Amino acid sequence: MNPPARLPRPVVRAATSASPAPAADAPLKIDVEHLSFFYGEKRALEDISIKIQANMVTAFIGPSGCGKSTFLRTLNRMNDIIPGARVEGRVCVDGHDIYGPGVDVVAMRRKVGMVFQKSNPFPKSIFENAAYGIRINRMASGKSELAGRVEESLKQAALWDEVKDRLHESALALSGGQQQRLCIARALAVKPDILLMDEPASALDPIATQRIEELIYQLKTNFTIVIVTHNMQQAARVSDFTAFFWLGRLVEYERTDKMFTNPTEKLTEDYLTGRFG
Amino acid sequence: MKARRTPPARKVLSALFVAACGLAVIAALIPLAFVLFFVISQGVQSLNLDFFLNNPRPVGEVGGGMANAIVGTLILTGLAAALAVPIGILSGVYLSEYRGSRFASTVRFAADTLNGVPSIVIGVFAYAVVVLPLGHFSTLAGGFALGIMMIPIIARTTEELLLLVPNALREGALALGATRARAVFSVIVPAALPGIITGVVLALARIAGETAPLLFTSFNNGFFSTSLTQPISSITVQVFTYAISPYEDWHRQAWAGALVLVTIVLLCSMAARIAAARVARIRGQ
């Protein structure tokens, strides 16, 4: 178990502006163009354009209320259930606009999984939690296949060894960190391409946080990960790219090592050095 | 730093307030205690095995029981539940899922109004829509009247309980590719299930004690009957009939019937609590 701080930095070509061009060697996964978001009359996000690369960890940072969570939730249309919410602009996942006409939102959410700030296991057994997405999407044809898939996802989320002897106990009996990893396993079980994580470790203690961060590092081989965090050290540890949001706008989007050592924007520098926020 | 002492006047005031609350609780419990005391002390005297096994005897013949009425009450409440539980729970789901819509607030207002309608009016309604077309009193009409009374209770209870389920559970299900209906019926309703069970049984307990809506729907029947299209006896109507009669023996039977009714309601409530606790324990809540 390497502490994430010592993990090797990925080599990506430096981006130069506040809206950097994608690195040439990584395929584009999510392409957001001129996205604005409204809660009723209030504009929460203003003209955001960002290109997120496949198999990378992209972190969204910024002060509370800057719109980073709202933006994350526009990436799998989780805001649809909020009355009065409205979106302008385009969000293309693998080249298809998820806000376009005739989009199957339910199928899209299966591809773009989400882990929430507060762990939200269903009041069911550990097994049933991990099996939920597989069942509702009819992804397993029999009991043994279902069990195999559950085991696989629990292993991917580094939870299997801790729960394999009590799969049929309540998920609510797990510790906070285990519950969050179960939620990650649950999301992974439906085999998404993208995993959106909304401050997944903010309610956890440092050891549980470290486990989640290690997990993120392992998962990016197979998944594209977008993580919202209010913890700048965490962004620096786990992400390849960082986007800094402020007052509903994307201020700077940059390779993480560059942003944390030599930010382009004065506002980013002020935030990173703790002058506000 | 030394904390300032609480002034004695405030302590006295606080103690007085607590005492007032305690007195209010006792005042509320006294009638309950008296009701239970009378029902039990009077009822136990006339309660015996015959009471459960025999039907009423004609005037002047001593003995007899309420076997037909006990079975009748069970059938009537069963019918009412069969009608009201599905409709009530589904309406509750609608009310909580579409709580912002104008139709939902209309339905909510209508349910609250229906909840406050005197039960005799419900009886008149059932008389008009079931008894008159069929041409005679029937078990169906009684079950219908009781079911109509149960629907708004169950709908509103279900709605309140579903609203208590954290929104995070809904989001979690949707994020896994669940449709809205799937999220509701596979995650949200099960999460609220212990409360919904309790709510349903409390509604049952309430309508099991109704007399007025049965007087001209299921009427009464001196004989043992399980037919849905014939009049049927019920504990409440039987107690009413006996209680207003001039016969000493019938008065005793009325007390015994009251005791049986109270016991049935109590057992139902206990069963509901146990069931709800068991469901909750399986889930580790």
Q: Which residue of A has its CA nearest to B190?
A: A123
Answer for the pair B66, B256: CB distance below 8 angstroms, yes or no: yes
Nearest-Cα distance to chain A for B165, in Å, is 10
Q: Where are the alpha helices (DSSP H) in chain A?
A: 68-74, 105-111, 126-136, 143-156, 160-163, 176-189, 206-219, 232-238, 256-261, 266-272
Q: How far is it, in rounded angstroms, from Cα A84 to Cα B100?
A: 11
The whole-number pLDDT of residue A10 equals 38
Tell me the pLDDT tens digit for each residue of B179-238. Answer: 999 999 999 999 999 889 989 998 999 999 999 999 989 998 888 888 889 999 999 999
Nearest Cα neighbor of A174 from A134, A125, A133 is A125
Region B18-41 average pLDDT = 94
CA distance B192 to chain A (A): 10
**pLDDT of the residue at B276:** 83
| Chain B residue closest in CA terms to A174 | B284
Q: CA-based Rg of chain A, rounded to a whole angstrom?
A: 18
Question: β-pairing, A85-93 with A28-39?
Answer: antiparallel
Q: Is the pLDDT confidence value at A6 over 70?
A: no
- Least confident window among A1-10, A107-116, B62-71, B109-118: A1-10
**Assigned architecture for domain B51-283:** Orthogonal Bundle (1.10)
Tokens of A203: 């309610």
Average pLDDT over residues A142-160: 92
Q: Which residue has the higher pLDDT, B128 or B2?
A: B128
Angle CA B100–B105–B110, to nearest 5: 160
B160 pLDDT higher than 50 = yes
Over residues A193-218, the mean pLDDT reads: 90
Question: CA B270 to CA A192: how far, in whole Å?
Answer: 46
- Closest to A139 measured CA to CA, from B190, B172, B177, B187: B177
Q: To the nearest whole number, what is the mean pLDDT of chain A? A: 87
Of A83, A116, A172, the CB nearest to B172: A116
Query: Above 90 in pLDDT, residue A250?
Result: yes
Q: Does B30 touch chain A (CB under 8 A)?
A: no
In A, which residues are within 8 Å of B169 by CB distance?
A: 120, 122-123
From chain B, the residues in CB contact with A130 under 8 A are: none
Percent of chain B with pLDDT over 70: 98
CB pairs under 8 A between A and B: 79
Smallest CA–CA distance, residue A120 to chain B, in Å, is: 6
Residues of A within 8 A of B190 (CB-CB) are: 123-124
Confidence of residue A8 (pLDDT cuts 50, 70, 90): very low
Query: Judging by beta carbons within 10 Å of its beta carbon (0-12, 13-18, 19+), is residue B20 exposed, middle or buried?
Result: exposed
Give the chain A residue nearest B183 (alpha carbons). Answer: A136
Judge whether residue A235 has pLDDT over 50: yes
Predicted pLDDT of residue B283: 62
Q: Can you give the pLDDT at residue B2?
A: 66
- Check B176 against A107: CB less than 8 A apart: no
Complex ipTM: 0.84
Distance from CA of B199 to the nearest CA of A (A): 20
Q: For A172, which of B168, B172, B283 is closest by C-beta distance?
A: B283
Q: How many angstroms separate the CA atoms of B226 and B233, rounded?
A: 10
Q: Do A78 and B285 touch (CB under 8 A)?
A: no
CB within 8 A of A79, min separation 6: which ones?
A37, A70, A73, A85, A87
Residues 6+ apart with CB under 8 A from B99: B159, B163
Average predicted confidence (pLDDT) for chain B:
91
- Span of A203-207, B164-168, B181-185 with lowest mean pLDDT: A203-207
Kindly list the strands in the beta sheet with A194-198, ordered across the sheet, starting from the edge strand earlier in the chain: A112-115, A194-198, A224-228, A57-61, A241-246, A249-255
pLDDT value for A82: 86
- Closest Cα in chain B, distance from residue A29 (Å): 19
- The pLDDT score that the predictor gives to residue A7 is 40
Per-residue pLDDT, averaged over A106-129, amounts to 93
Nearest to A172 among B100, B186, B284 (CB): B284
A117/chain B closest Cα distance in angstroms: 10
**Would you call A123 and B284 a contact, using CB atoms and an 8 Å cutoff?**
yes
Distance CA A264, CA A242 (A): 13
Distances from the Cα of A124 to the Cαs of B39, B96, B169, in angstroms?
43, 22, 11
Residues of A with CB under 8 A from a CB of B: 76, 78, 81, 83, 106-107, 109-110, 113-114, 116, 118, 120-124, 132-133, 136-137, 169-173, 183, 186-187, 190
More confident residue, B76 or B101: B76
* Residue located via tokens 């519950």: A179
What pLDDT is attached to residue B103? 93
**Per-residue model confidence (pLDDT) at position A275:** 80
Average pLDDT over residues A170-189: 93
User: B177, A169: Cβ pair inside 8 Å?
Assistant: no
Give me the percent of chain A exceeding a pLDDT of 90.
Answer: 65
CB B136 within 8 A of CB A92: no
A97-106, A208-217, B2-11, B171-180, range with the lowest pLDDT = B2-11
Q: Is the pLDDT of residue A18 over 90?
A: no
CATH class for domain A18-272? Answer: alpha beta
Q: From A123, which residue of chain B is nearest by alpha-carbon distance?
A: B283
pLDDT of B178 strictly over 70: yes
Partners of A107 on chain B (C-beta within 8 Å) are 177
Contact indicator for B138, A121 with CB cutoff of 8 Å: no
Q: Cβ–Cβ contacts within 10 Å for residue B105, how many?
A: 13
Whether residues B191 and A137 touch (CB distance < 8 A) is answered with: no
- Boundaries of every domain in chain B: 51-283
CB pair distance less than 8 Å for B284 and A120:
no
Pick B8 or B283 by higher pLDDT. B8
Q: State the Cα–Cα distance between residues A29 and A24, nearest whole angstrom.
A: 13
Residue spans per domain, chain A: 18-272
B-chain residues near A132 (CB < 8 A): 173, 176, 178, 186-187
Per-residue model confidence (pLDDT) at position B282: 63
For residue A217, the distance in angstroms to the closest alpha carbon of chain B comes to 22
Element housing B35 (H / E): helix B8-46
The answer to whether B101 contacts chain A (CB < 8 Å) is no
Mutation site for A-interface testing, chosen from B97, B101, B176, B184 by largest number of A Cβ within 10 Å: B176
Find all residues with CB under 8 Å of A172, minimum gap 6, and list them: A121, A123, A179, B283, B284, B285
B97: enclosing H helix or E strand: helix B67-97
Q: Do B169 and A122 touch (CB under 8 A)?
A: yes
- Chain B residues touching A136 at Cβ < 8 A: 173, 176-178, 182, 186
Chain A partners of B192 at a C-beta cutoff of 8 Å?
Answer: none
- pLDDT tens for each residue of B34-65: 999 999 999 998 888 888 888 888 877 877 88
pLDDT number for residue A4: 42
CA distances from A145 to A136, A148, A166 (A): 15, 5, 19
